[in-house]
Amino acid sequence: MKDLLKMLDLSHGDIIKILDTADRLKAEQKAGKPHDFPPGKTLAMIFEKNSTRTRVSFEVGIFQLGGHGIFLSSSDSQLGRGESIADTARTLSRYCDCIMIRTFAHQTVEDLARYSTVPVINGLSDFSHPCQALGDLMTTREHKGGLQGLKACYIGDGNNVANSNIVGWLKCGLNVSVACPKGFEPDARVLSFAAGVTDCTFELTTDPKIASSGADVIYTDVWASMGQEGEAGEREKTFAGYQINDDLMALANPGCIVQHCLPAKKGKEITESVFEAHADEIFDEAENRLHVQKAIMALLMSGSL
C-alpha cells in the first residue's frame, strides 16, 4: 500500500499492524528510547483547514522519527494562486518523502495521491478521517484490553469521523450502532460496506437511547463541522436530542468509555459533566493521534504496509 486515504482501503490486518506499531512507538517514546527509523525524512504538510491536533501531532511525530515537517497553507504555497494539485504533487514528490493533506473535498486527496510518487496521508477530508479513527481504535484497545465483540455507539452527525469509525469498528469486529437525525446519515459508501459485514452487527437509528443501550464505547463530534458554521443555528435545533449526557450514559454498559475527536462544544453535543468525567479517555485519544500517525508514516515510508 502506497497511501492512506480512507479506512475502506485498509484490511483488518493493516489496521492491527498500524495499532501494534503505534503501541511499540508509544512505549519507546515513553521510555526515552530512540526509534529505529532512518533519519532525515521530510514530511510536507498541506493545510486547507485550520488545525491544532493534526498539525502538532504530525509535526512532532516526524521530528520524533528523526525527520522534519514543512507546513504549507494555501496562502503559503502556489496552491493559493491556482497551481493544480497534480503539479503540486509532482513537485513535492521531488523534494519530500511523504505528503500529508488536510482539506475539504476528498477528491483532492485522491488526486494528490494519483500524481504523487511518495506516500500520501489523508489528514482529514470531507469524507474520511482515517488518522482519527485509527487513534480512536488504539485508545479503545488500551482502555478495554481488546476490540472484538465490543459495542461501539456513535451519536450525532454522520460526518467524516462517523464514516471512518464505522468502517474501522466493523473491520475490527465491533458491533456498531449509530444514531443520526434523518437526512444526516453516514455516507452511502459506508452504509453499503456495513450492509455486507456478516461477523458483527450494524444498526442505524434515529433514537440515541437505542444506540447507546449496552454500549462499551460512546462517540460524538460537533454538530457543525468546519465549513458548516453558517448552518450552526439550524443544526443545533436538529441535533437537540442527540447530546451525550448522564441519561444516555446510564443506558451504556458499566465502564463505558467516551470518545470525542475535539474540539468539543460542551453543553451542545456533550455535557460538561460527562466530558470531564471521561476527560482522561478523551485526551488519551488526542495523544494517540501522535503515536498512530508516527506508525503510519514509518510503515508507509518504509514500504511495510
Q: Could you say which of 55, 97, 98, 102 is catalytic?
A: 102
User: What number of helices (H) and strands (E) belong to the chain?
Assistant: 12, 9
Is pTM beyond 0.95 here?
A: yes
> Mind listing the pLDDT tens digit of every residue in the chain (305 residues)?
999 999 999 999 999 999 999 999 999 999 999 999 999 999 999 999 989 999 999 999 999 999 999 999 988 889 888 999 999 999 999 999 999 999 999 999 999 999 999 999 999 999 999 999 999 999 999 999 999 999 999 999 999 999 999 999 999 999 999 999 999 999 999 999 999 999 999 999 999 999 999 999 999 999 987 677 788 789 999 999 999 999 999 999 999 999 999 999 999 999 999 999 999 999 999 999 999 999 999 999 999 99
Q: Could you say which of 106, 132, 141, 187 is catalytic?
A: 132
What cell was used for 270? 456533550
Q: Long-range contacts: 267-270, Cβ < 8 Å, 24+? A: 268/222, 268/223, 268/236, 268/239, 268/243, 269/155, 269/156, 269/220, 269/221, 269/222, 269/223, 269/239, 269/242, 269/243, 269/244, 270/220, 270/243, 270/244, 270/245
Q: Could you say which of 221, 259, 284, 293 is catalytic?
A: 221
Q: Could you say which of 53, 106, 129, 260 is catalytic?
A: 129
The residue assigned the cell 508514516 is 297
Q: Is 217 exposed, middle or buried (0-12, 13-18, 19+ CB in 10 A)?
A: buried
235: annotated active-site residue: no
**Residues 244-253 as b or e (16 or more Cβ within 10 Å = b):** beeebbebbe
Q: How far apart are CA 266 and CA 145, in angstroms?
A: 29
Q: How far apart are CA 9 and CA 1, in angstroms?
A: 9
Q: Could you say which of 53, 55, 106, 289 is catalytic?
A: 289
289: annotated active-site residue: yes
Q: How far apart are CA 14 and CA 108, in angstroms?
A: 24
Q: How far apart are CA 120 and CA 87, in angstroms?
A: 15
Q: How far apart are the first and last CA of the chain?
A: 6
Q: How far apart are CA 194 and CA 192, in angstroms?
A: 5
pLDDT for residue 231 = 81
Q: Could you say which of 261, 278, 291, 293 is catalytic?
A: 261
132: annotated active-site residue: yes
10 touches 64 (CB < 8 A): no
pLDDT for residue 75 = 81
Q: What is the DSSP letter of 117?
A: S
261: annotated active-site residue: yes
The helix-helix angle for 53-64 and 279-301 (nearest 10°) equals 50
180: annotated active-site residue: no
Q: How many residues does the chain have?
A: 305
pLDDT for residue 237 = 94
* Domains in the chain, CATH or no CATH each: 7-129+288-301 (3.40.50.1370), 132-285 (3.40.50.1370)
221: annotated active-site residue: yes
The residue assigned the cell 443501550 is 213
Q: How far apart are CA 76 and CA 118, in angstroms?
A: 21
For residue 158, CA distances in Å to 193, 225, 242 come to: 15, 11, 12
Residue 66 neighbours by CB under 8 Å, 6+ apart: 34, 35, 37, 38, 39, 40, 41
pLDDT for residue 94 = 98
